[in-house]
Structures are given as C-alpha cells and as structure tokens.
Amino acid sequence: MPLSLRLALRFVFSPKQGSFSSYASWLAIGGLAIGIAALMLTASIIHGFQQVISEKLSSFEGQGRIQHILGNSIDLTDPTLDSLIQRSSNTVVPFVRGVCMVRSGSKAEGVLVEGVQSLPKSISNHDFEHIHEGEIVMGRGLANGLNIKKGDRVFIQVFSSGHSFSNTPRIRPMVVKDIFYSGLQEYDKTLAYTNLKDARDLFGFKTDAATGLIVNDTELSPFITEMNYPYYFETWRERHALLFEWITLQRWPAYIMFGLIALVGIINLLAAINMIILEKSGQIGILMAQGTPIPALKRIFMFQGGFIGFMGGIIGGLLSTVIIVLQFKFEILSIPAEIYFMDQIPFSFDFSAFGIILTLVFFFSILASWWPTKTLTRMNPAAVLRYE
C-alpha cells in the first residue's frame, strides 16, 4: 500500500481515542451521506412519478391513436387502415368515442363514453377484460357523483350525433359492470367504457366505422408516421405534452434544492481537510524534514477526501435504498390522489441518475480536498517543528 494512502486511512481510522482528524472525517462522511441520500431520493421520486404517470396514460390512450384530422369518423374498409389492422389485428383496434349523459334516478352527469373491444390494462385487473352488450364500466369519481355502485342500472342518453340524420335522443339502459379507479381525475370523473357495438348504436356509427384506431405496437411507428391526409397519428405523450413539460420544469428546481444539501457536505469536507492539515502540521513537518515531496503530502489528503466521498456515497446510497425498499413494501408515505394522480409517493430506482450523482460527488470530494493542500507549499518545516 502506498505511504500516502496508508497515512490517509490512518487519519480517518485514528487509533488515538478522541482524535479530531478521525472525528472530522466521519462527520464529513455523515454530512455527505445525508446530501447524497436526499439527491438520490429526489431522483427516485421524480423518475417514479414520471413512470407511474406514463404507465397510466399509455394504458388508457394506447401507444398512440389514429384519427381523422377533421374529427370525422374513419372508414375501417379504407385500404390504408385495413392493411394496418390486418398487419397487427391484436394491437391495432378500433374505438368509438362520444359525449353523452348518464342518468341515475334524479341525478345526471355528462360523460365521455368510449366503446372498446377490451378494457385498458390498468383497469382490467378484475375478473373480466371484455365488456358485454348492455354493460358499462365507469370511474369512481363519476360513480360517486351519481351515487351509484356496481350492479346498478343507469340510462345513457345521446341528444344528437353528427353521424346520424335523426335528432331523436337515444336512450339506452345499461348495468354498471364495475367501477375503476386510476387516480387520474380526468378519467375517473368523466370517462366510461362500453361495448364497441353499443357505442356504435348510441352514436349512430356504421358497422365498419369508428372514431379512430388505438395503436399498442411501437414497432408500427415507422409505418404509421408515414400516413397521409386525412389521417394523423398522435402518441399519448404528445396528447399530454403539457403534463410532461410540467414534470420536466419541476425536476431541476428539486435537484438544485436538494443538491444544496450535498454542497453543504462538500464544504464541510473542505473545512474538515483544512482543520486536519492544521492538526497534523507537526507530522507533516517531520515528513517534510525527512524529504517527503510536496506532491506526496498532497496525495495524503486527496486520498482522504476521496475516501470520504466514497464512504459518503456508499452510506448515502444504502440509506436511500433502505427508504425506497420500505416504501415499496409498506407504502409509508402517502399523498393526496386528487392532486398528484396517485395515493402513494412513487419511488423508482433511476440508476443512471445514481451513477451521475456518485461520480460528481466523488470528483468534487477530491477537488475539495485538493484546495486546502495548497497551504502545504507555504509551510516551513523548521518553523512548524519549533512550535510543535
């Protein structure tokens, strides 16, 4: 083991009880570990929040949707659309969507009804996946507003439709098959699912017509993006672009705020190294008198700073991992779902962010330990030994 590294570790693990150098080193490690843990938890929450939102939105919207650019219905017999459906019939499916009113007793609410062949994965975790004719699945917010529960009978009313020449209101009784909860108020309060055939009858669509196509196969993107007028393809991320811009906007202030905690740890390390140099000035004077070069003396404290940064990173990483695992297992930290689209703080291991944080902390730890070593070049060994 090099002499510089051996002395650096000796200053940290000093056998002398109550040694200031050992105490200052472990205090710097503790401060740095707290700052690193705060940064890692921040990165985990931001990554987890974005991941949960992405999974929920992509489940409801599919990877993307093909619709008519003017909002008209699409003809499924169109050669362009038909070839796409035949290419991947399981991942490209039609849907019919329209606005109507749902009534239960004396209460009524406006609702966006979507006719589908099968329910989105995020709400099909019940005993069924497909909706039969005469059944409806609605969000908890809508059900609470109408004071209805599973198995109740409701009436769906459509006043007019641009796809039919009749202005006679269509009214159809339906049974509430189930009530879903996503945590997304936009869906829980305004969205309901029915059988595709029921939706076509309600909104006056022909058998081979639909509002659009739901695409769940990302491998079809090169083919879909080349579609021409009058069709256009919109991904779920493009549809909710403002939400993800808000997440990105919130990310950097959070990193800066919690990064200041890590910065305090770095400054504490710098002060600790400076105080250790003063405390060990006698030993440094002896080494200088014996001919030890200045670069070798500087390496002692740079090794010590690197060790403090390394240990701070290990302890901080372990601390953040323990908190994340406890949250995964026991869901200790809860948040209001009405505001944040979920009822528990979402943690997700963001290993790329973890790597960047640990690398930067280690680099700045060495840099912070190098700065105080400049005083060694001005140190006079004879004067130091005389006072010691």
Same domain, 104 and 209: yes
- Please indicate, yes or no, if residue 64 is contained in any of the structural domains: no
**Residue located via tokens 């953040």:** 320
On whether the CB atoms of residues 179 and 133 are closer than 8 A, the answer is no
Does residue 273 share a domain with residue 125?
no
Nearest-5° Cα angle at 376, 271 to 292: 130
> Considering 195, 228, 261, which residue would you say is the last residue of a domain?
228
d(CA 94, CA 208): 10
Q: Do the domain assignments include residue 234?
A: no
Q: Which domain holds residue 278?
A: 3-57+243-387
10 Å Cβ neighbour count for 252?
A: 11
Give the pLDDT of residue 275. Answer: 87
Torsion of CA 82, 83, 89, 94, to 10 degrees: -30
Give the model's pLDDT for residue 214.
92
Last residue of a domain, one of 228, 252, 284: 228
CA distance 153 to 189: 18
Distances in whole angstroms, Cα of residue 69 to Cα of each of 66, 203, 233:
9, 19, 9
- CA 73 vs. chain centroid, Å, equals 35
Q: Are 192 and 111 in contact (CB under 8 A)?
A: yes
Give the model's pLDDT for residue 174. Answer: 96
Local structure of residue 372 (DSSP, 8 states)? G
In terms of domains, do 310 and 374 share one?
Answer: yes
In SS3 terms, 280-314 reads as: CHHHHHHHHHCCCCHHHHHHHHHHHHHHHHHHHHH
CA distances to 103, 178, 211, 378 from 157, in Å:
8, 19, 19, 88
155 and 220 part of one domain: yes
Residue with tokens 């004879």: 382
Is residue 148 in some structural domain? yes
Residue 166 CA to chain centroid, in angstroms? 48
* Count of the separate structural domains present in the chain: 2
- Residue 76's CB: how many other CB atoms inside 10 A? 16
Specify if 233 maps to a domain. no
143 and 175 share one domain: yes
Adjacent-strand bridge partners of 212: 67, 95
For residue 220, being part of any structural domain is answered with: yes
State residue 17's pLDDT score.
54
Is the domain of 322 the same as that of 253? Answer: yes
Domain-terminating residue out of 202, 228, 254: 228
How much is the pTM? 0.81
Please indicate, yes or no, whether residues 166 and 79 belong to a single structural domain of this protein. yes
Q: Which residue do the tokens 């909002």 mark?
A: 71
305 three-state secondary structure: helix
- Predicted pLDDT at 325: 95
User: Does a structural domain hold residue 37?
Assistant: yes
Same-domain status, 80 and 111? yes
Judgement on whether residues 74 and 141 belong to the same structural domain of the protein:
yes
Q: Tell me the C-alpha distance between 163 and 29, whole Å.
A: 70
- My answer on whether 247 and 365 are in the same domain is yes
CA 21 – CA 275 distance, rounded (Å): 8
* String of DSSP letters for 176-212: EEEEE--S-HHHHTTEEEEEHHHHHHHHT--TTEESE
Quick one: pLDDT at residue 69?
A: 92
Q: Are residues 23 and 168 in the same domain?
A: no
User: What CA–CA distance (Å, rounded) separates 344 from 189?
Assistant: 20
Closest-CA residue to 95 (of 85, 83, 110, 108)? 85
Alpha carbon distance 224, 215 (integer Å):
9
The reply to whether 263 falls in a domain is yes
What residues in the chain have per-residue pLDDT under 50? Answer: 165
> Which two three-digit tokens encode residue 245?
């811009």
Number of C-beta neighbours around residue 150 at 10 A: 12
Tokens 């007028």 correspond to 229
Task: Kindly state whether residues 381 and 275 are assigned to the same domain.
Answer: yes
Cβ pair 95, 213 in contact under 8 A = yes
Give phi and psi for 30, each to the nearest 5: -65, -45
The CB-side HSE value for 91 (13 A sphere, CA atoms) comes to 13
- 287 in any annotated domain: yes
